[in-house]
């Protein structure tokens, strides 16, 4: 009787996991699959201007790349930015070095001196140590210092003052040639005060392949683009790797300085824009941006345990529930598949009943990755290790609660956030 009850409970859990994966797949198609995109084509079904439109002489763009110990990838980021097709758009590029210890600033300065990178438009700003007695989290300090520098050096354009734009790009982003001009053109066309683009995720290490596809799906579901773009909806989201502000609007909300202690500053900036009644425009930018977030498991673990609990509004029950749900959806079907195999050896007549929900769950995980490849060009590599991703995320949730609540081990790039 006990074995029969156990099998029945496993069957229910297995079919619930399969149903949950089906709902996730359908919800993602409705929210992300049909979301407006900014790309290199002429038109968009959602009405967004997607081509690299003609730049306007009324616009001037300041691109700011905050960098802390980015020596291994800053050259790639800056090189792609300098190769942008700006179509007459006036601009400047500032790499704001956040007191790096790995030669990030020195390496760029050497490339400028050698003539590899032109200056202007490239300028390297050494932000120096953070002020004693003030709390600055993450990239808020270098971003704020870069904007302060811009205030001391007005735009070089002659004639009537242009519309100024501030674009914050992370050092782990690679932009396509049309990205900058297209973003400014779309922001101008739509009247956006903040235009943010969700990049295409590129995975390089095993840790990224097993975790990032799951996280991206959850983010897409948790912050629907339609709600973020609806002025009457409180949902606010900004993708930190690419945020384009109308400068006057950025200054109206106080910029990064107004939220110096915020760890998840992109969400805080998006909320500030909406709360002020300004226009937020959130689009998919998978055709124009590529993001490689973490070089290894250690960096991934530090990054997501830093943010996970914060992203769920510091709600312990919600954070723990998210870990349980991910574990059930992505690890559960594989566990059931293993149990079905063991049951087949011990009790051949019982194993087919367990196999059905297990195969349904595994098949839907494959369907989810096929959908990601179709919509976002995410490779299928290691899809069969999604069970491992479920285990990792299930561990991230309680650890994130502990770090955020106690401050112990709560770091980013080795810097304490407590």
Please report the pLDDT score of residue 9 as a whole number.
87
What pLDDT score does 49 carry?
43
Helix/strand/coil for 103: coil
How many angstroms separate the CA atoms of 8 and 233, rounded? 42
SS3 175: strand
Q: How far apart are CA 7 and CA 1, in angstroms?
A: 10
Residues 6+ apart with CB under 8 A from 95: 65, 67, 74, 78, 104, 105, 108, 122, 123, 124, 125
Kind and range of the H or E run holding 84: none
Q: Which two tokens stand for residue 193?
A: 């005060």
- DSSP-derived secondary structure letter, 117: S
Q: Indicate the DSSP class of residue 37.
A: B
What does 196-257 look like in DSSP terms, one character per residue? EEEPEE---SHHHHHHHHHHHHHHHHHS-HHHHT-TTS------TTEEEEEHHHHHHTTTGG
What CA–CA distance (Å, rounded) separates 54 from 181?
A: 8
Q: Phi then psi for 201, rounded to 5 degrees?
A: -85, 130
Supply the pLDDT for residue 42: 39
Three-state DSSP at 263 gives coil
Q: How far apart are CA 388 and CA 381, in angstroms?
A: 14
In whole angstroms, what is the distance from residue 195 CA to residue 197 CA?
A: 7
Q: What is the pLDDT along the chain (418 residues), one digit of tens a residue?
A: 587 788 788 889 999 999 999 999 999 999 888 899 997 543 344 444 444 445 455 799 999 999 999 999 999 999 999 999 998 889 999 999 999 999 999 999 999 999 999 888 999 999 999 998 899 999 999 999 999 998 887 665 555 667 899 999 999 999 999 999 999 999 999 999 999 999 999 999 999 999 999 998 998 888 889 999 999 999 999 999 999 999 999 999 999 999 999 999 999 999 999 999 999 999 999 999 999 999 999 999 999 999 999 999 999 999 999 999 999 999 999 999 998 888 777 766 555 678 899 999 999 999 999 999 999 889 999 999 999 999 999 999 999 999 999 999 999 988 889 8
What local confidence, expressed as pLDDT, does residue 61 receive?
Answer: 95
- Cβ-based burial of 43 (10 A; exposed 0-12, middle 13-18, buried ≥19): exposed
Q: How far apart are CA 234 and CA 230, in angstroms?
A: 8
Q: What is the pLDDT of residue 153?
A: 73
């Amino acid at each position: 009787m006990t074995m029969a009850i156990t099998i029945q409970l496993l069957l229910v859990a297995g079919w619930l996991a399969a149903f949950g994966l089906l709902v996730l797949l359908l919800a993602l198609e409705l929210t992300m699959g049909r979301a407006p995109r900014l790309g290199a084509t002429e038109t968009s079904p959602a009405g967004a201007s997607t081509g690299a439109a003609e730049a306007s002489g009324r616009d001037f763009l300041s691109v700011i790349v905050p960098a802390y110990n980015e020596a291994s990838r800053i050259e790639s980021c800056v090189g792609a930015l300098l190769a942008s097709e700006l179509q007459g758009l006036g601009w400047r590029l500032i790499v704001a070095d956040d007191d790096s210890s790995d030669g990030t600033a020195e390496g760029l300065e050497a490339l400028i001196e050698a003539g590899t990178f032109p200056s202007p438009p490239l300028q390297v700003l050494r932000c120096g140590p953070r002020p004693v007695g003030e709390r600055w989290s993450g990239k808020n300090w270098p971003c704020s210092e870069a904007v302060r520098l811009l205030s001391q050096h007005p735009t070089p354009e002659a004639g009537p003052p242009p519309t100024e734009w501030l674009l914050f790009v992370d050092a782990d982003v690679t932009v396509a040639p049309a990205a900058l001009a297209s973003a400014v053109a779309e922001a101008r066309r739509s009247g956006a005060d903040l235009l943010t683009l969700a990049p295409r995720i590129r995975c390089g290490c095993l840790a990224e392949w097993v975790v990032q596809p799951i996280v991206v799906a959850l983010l897409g579901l948790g912050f629907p683009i339609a709600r973020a773009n609806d002025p009457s909806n409180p949902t606010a989201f900004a993708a930190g790797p690419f945020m384009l502000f109308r400068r006057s609007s950025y200054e109206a909300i106080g910029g990064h300085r107004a939220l110096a202690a915020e760890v998840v500053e992109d969400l805080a900036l998006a909320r500030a824009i909406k709360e002020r009644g300004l226009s937020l425009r959130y689009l998919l930018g998978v055709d124009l941006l590529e993001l490689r977030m973490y070089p290894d498991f250690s960096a991934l673990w530090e990054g997501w345990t830093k943010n996970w609990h914060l992203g769920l509004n510091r709600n312990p029950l919600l954070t723990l529930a998210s870990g349980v749900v991910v574990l059930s959806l992505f690890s559960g079907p594989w566990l059931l598949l293993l149990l079905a195999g063991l049951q087949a050896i011990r009790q051949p007549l019982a194993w087919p009943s367990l196999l059905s929900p297990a195969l349904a769950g595994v098949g839907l995980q494959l369907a989810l990755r096929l959908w990601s490849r179709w919509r976002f060009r995410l490779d299928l590599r290691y899809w069969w290790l999604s069970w491992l991703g479920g285990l990792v995320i299930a561990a991230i949730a309680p650890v994130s609660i502990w770090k955020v609540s106690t401050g112990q081990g709560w770091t980013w790039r080795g810097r304490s956030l407590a």
